[in-house]
Amino acid sequence: MLRNLCDAHVHTIFSRHAYSTIEEDVRAAARVGLELIGISDHYSPMIASDVRPLEYQHFFNLGIVPRRWMGVHVLRSAEADIIDLKGHLFGHEMTFSPRKTGDVWRIPRSLEEQALLHSDYVIASVHGRDFTKHATSAQITAMYVGALEHEKVLMLGHLGRTGLSYEVAPIIRACAETHKLIEINEHSFHFGAPGSERLLATKSRCRELAEACAEAGVSVAVNTDAHISCEVGQVPNALALLEGIDFPQELIATTDAESFLAAVERGVGPVGDLRG
């Protein structure tokens, strides 16, 4: 049986279409015996009809979230949208002078820099896919490799269910070079009826990614992508898939708190009080 005592991708009410608070997610993590969770709300155009700093202020104060809560390590994160074929993240070129209080940014920062300032790590995912409409597989591959170059990006989110065409090998190679992770996302197995083409395609993509990781010595993060607290820590389909291919435990970065904290330090760099 593979062990997985971290859940590095959970959402809260700040994601707008999720239903639990940070405290409820932490309590759920403690209840099911997790050692660590990562609060990773959507940092994405999808959460606001009008892109203004005000709409993203919940990220600006993430530094107050306790490092340990109910005995669980709590990491600060964000699931950032990849918004172009270069792999840039949402808000990278957006600068605003007036703050919500009316005065000006003391340090001129883009919305992206300000929103991700307190994140220990970032999950880069594709949600809105319009910009990929005419893209080739090589371009999508380059987009993911580009996203991995971002200093705070630790993992690519739900790569197995994007529906985009990309080449696995160059992405895994980039992960190996940058010490970054591929996510095996439990939520991906909730899309499509059992036996449906969609679900089979997701499973086969996830298996292909996991096999490539095992071969290259790249670690995976096994996460729920929970949008409600009762889902926190529940990853039966993801673990069954990995067990089915004899995936090595030592390449699961979410095995326990120590392995995930080490993975953050390797992929993103030292984070001041990470171990709290």
Q: Kindly list the residues in this chain that would bind Zn ion in the complex (CB under 5 A).
A: 79, 225
**Cβ at position 24, least distance to Zn ion in Å:** 16
Nearer to Zn ion, 8 or 251 (CB): 8
> Helices in the chain by DSSP H: which ranges?
22-31, 57-60, 111-116, 137-148, 168-178, 197-216, 236-244, 257-267
> Helix count (H) and strand count (E) of the chain?
8, 8
**Cβ at position 136, least distance to Zn ion in Å:** 26
**Cβ at position 18, least distance to Zn ion in Å:** 6
User: Closest Cα to residue 156, out of 204, 188, 130?
Assistant: 188
Nearer to Zn ion, 186 or 225 (CB): 225
What separation in angstroms does the CA of 86 have from each of 8, 83, 95, 136, 206? Answer: 25, 8, 19, 13, 23
Task: Please give the torsion angle defined by the CA atoms of residues 44, 50, 54 and 55, in that order, rounded to the nearest 10 degrees.
Answer: -40
What's the rounded Cα separation, in Å, for the pair 155 and 103? 35
**Cβ at position 77, least distance to Zn ion in Å:** 10
Nearer to Zn ion, 142 or 238 (CB): 238
Which residues are CB-contacts of 260 (< 8 A; sequence separation ≥ 6)?
6, 8, 36, 75, 221, 253, 254
Helix 137-148, helix 168-178: angle, nearest 10: 10
**Cβ at position 45, least distance to Zn ion in Å:** 13
Task: State the residue number with the nearest CB to Zn ion.
Answer: 225
Alpha carbon 71 to chain centroid distance?
Answer: 23
What's the rounded Cα separation, in Å, for the pair 238 and 203? 9
**Cβ at position 29, least distance to Zn ion in Å:** 16
Nearer to Zn ion, 4 or 12 (CB): 12
Nearer to Zn ion, 40 or 219 (CB): 40
Nearer to Zn ion, 35 or 79 (CB): 79
First-to-last alpha carbon distance for the chain, in angstroms, is: 30
What's the rounded Cα separation, in Å, for the pair 78 and 169? 26
**Cβ at position 226, least distance to Zn ion in Å:** 8
Nearer to Zn ion, 123 or 263 (CB): 123
Helix 168-178, helix 197-216: angle, nearest 10: 40
